[in-house]
Amino acid sequence: MLAKQDYVRVISHNDADGITSAGIICNALYRRDIKFHVSIISHLDEAFVRTLDNTATVFCDMGSGQPDLIPHDAMIIDHHMPTKTDTEHLQLNPHIVGIDGSFELSASGATYAVAKCLGDNIDLSGLAIVGALGDCQTMIGANKDILDEALQHDIVTITHGLKLDDGDLAELFMYSTDPYMDITGDADKIQRFLNELGIGGKLGNLSPEELQRFISALMLKLMKKASVDTIESLIGESYKLNYEVLPDASLFVRVTNAAGKLGKTGLAVALCLRDAGAKDQAHQLCLDYQKQIISEMKKIEPDIKEGINVRYVNSSDKDVIGALASTIIRYLAPDKPILVMTEDKGKVKISARGTRKLLQRGLDLSVVMSEAAKKVGGSGGGHDIASGAAIPIGVESKFIEEVDARITEQLGGEGR
């Protein structure tokens, strides 16, 4: 379909996976001299679809859950669970062929498969890996196949060790939410922590003895609240992208997420198209976004409330609710799913997060959020581990009750 077009409209989601998906397909189209127009959006609705014309259109990282909104002649490249059998669209979705799209293949990975059909685009595998990491996927299943291909062609280089930015330690804890600790954002506490360890400067300049001392202290501090999976995830494989203007894959994830949430999607797409002139602005944007997350985290931490099998909290910052939910579930309270809610454009928007351990017990936030939102006149969906919803203002209490009841049922009636 795409190879025969002179012009293609690309529509994609505004997170790291969606933006890298758009970057992959736009690079592939450009290399075939096919003109394109890309739009990065936060959600798909009828109002946006009405703005589309009869141009060949491809939807990335969205569409499988809302096939009724997609024009009949459009293509869908998605990894969210399809809501029903869709025979009207040309659709590529890992779930359709028995691959778990929540963990084993992201939208960017599926888009990479399409790009390879359009030409020699193996160098775009690095962007597919960024998208997978952005959706908190690991390199298993189809993701591992992409990684293996990237390694074979020297598109990506793997290093092993502590997965933190190789920068100044004080700045790392001042502006980073990964990891997030009681000292994060507090210059005095950070300096006391480093002084007690007798270290400072850049992480990469620590001696082996200093590094071991630092890692031990970091792990002990995190063990107070963070999940075991989260702690273990800080040590392991890091990915250097040998063809991208931002070589650090983790930084690429943070930059694209920040750009998407702050409405700087053109900047994010430019990075995916390897515009080196966008690097400095992207770094600053990411730093500003991290500061925004930390500031809001400090405000809402004392206000987190607890139900039978869910926690919930309100935020006044619509740009960071997903990041807040991810930080809370990973570093503060991993034993129950978390809902972060905010009012935006006459609705209450909710971001929900769980853990793999909760999934093993039966949790499916996609089902929970869809059913609970529908019950109060809203809509919701997403992945089993990360989902969202939009509901009318004034029904928040009823919505939380519905969510809690469904989670409790999924977990076998258990409560803590």
State the SS3 of the chain.
Answer: CHHHCCEEEEEEECCHHHHHHHHHHHHHHHHCCCEEEEEEECCCCHHHHCCCCCCEEEEECCCCCCHHHCCCCCEEECCCCCCCCCCCCEEECHHHHCCCCCCCCCHHHHHHHHHHHHCCCHHHHHHHHHHHHHCCCCCCHHHHHHHHHHHHCCCEEEEEEECCCCCEHHHHHHHCCCCCCCCCCCHHHHHHHHHHHCCCCEHHHCCHHHHHHHHHHHHHHHCCCCCHHHHHHCEEEEEEECCCCCCEHHHHHHHHHHHHHCCCHHHHHHHHCCCHHHHHHHHHHHHHHHHHHHHHHHHHHHHCEECCCCEEEECCCCCCHHHHHHHHHHHHCCCCCEEEEEEECCEEEEEEECCHHHHHCCCCHHHHHHHHHHHCCCEEEECCCEEEEEEECCCHHHHHHHHHHHHHHHCCCCCC
- Using alpha carbons only, give the angle 397, 398, 403 rounded to the nearest 5 degrees: 100
Looking at the fold, whether 124 and 196 belong to one and the same domain comes out as no
Note the pLDDT of residue 415: 58
Q: Are residues 109 and 180 in the same domain?
A: no
Of 110, 100, 155, which is closest to residue 17 (Cα–Cα)?
110
Residues 90 and 106 occupy one common structural domain: yes
CB-CB contact of 392 with 376 (8 Å): yes
Banded model confidence at residue 81, pLDDT cuts 50, 70, 90: confident
Least confident of 35-49, 56-70, 223-237, 251-265: 223-237
User: What is the spatial distance between Cα 13 and Cα 48, in angstroms, rounded to a whole number?
Assistant: 13
pTM metric for this prediction = 0.86
The answer on pLDDT for 416 being more than 70 is no
Assess whether 111 and 146 both reside in one domain.
Answer: yes
pLDDT above 60 (res 150): yes
pLDDT-derived band at 126, boundaries 50, 70, 90 = very high
Q: Is residue 299 part of a domain?
A: no
Return the percentage of the chain with pLDDT > 90, whole number: 83
Do 177 and 51 have their domain in common?
no
**Same domain flag for 33 and 174:** no
**Residue 294 domain-assigned (yes or no):** no
| Whole-number average pLDDT of the chain | 94
Is 334 contained in some domain?
A: yes
Whether residue 189 is contained in a domain is answered as yes
End-of-domain residue from the set 235, 266, 293: 235
pLDDT at 73: 87
Residues 78 and 210 in one domain: no
Domain presence at residue 285? no
Same domain for 181 and 145? Answer: no
The residue-averaged pLDDT of 32-39 equals 97
Domain of residue 219 covers: 165-235
What's residue 65's pLDDT? Answer: 85
Does 225 lie in the same domain as 124? no
CA distance 229 to 233: 6
Position 174 scores a pLDDT of 95
79-88, 205-214, 384-393: which has the minimum mean pLDDT? 79-88
In a domain, 195, yes or no: yes
Domain count, the chain: 3
- 182-240, pLDDT tens digit by residue? 999 999 999 999 999 999 999 989 999 999 999 999 999 999 899 888 888 888 899 99
In terms of domains, do 253 and 211 share one? no
For residues 142 and 17, state if they share a domain. yes
CATH number of domain containing 400: 3.10.310.40
**Are 252 and 361 in the same domain?**
no
Lowest mean pLDDT across 164-168, 184-188, 234-238, 405-409: 164-168
Would 215 be classed as within a structural domain? yes
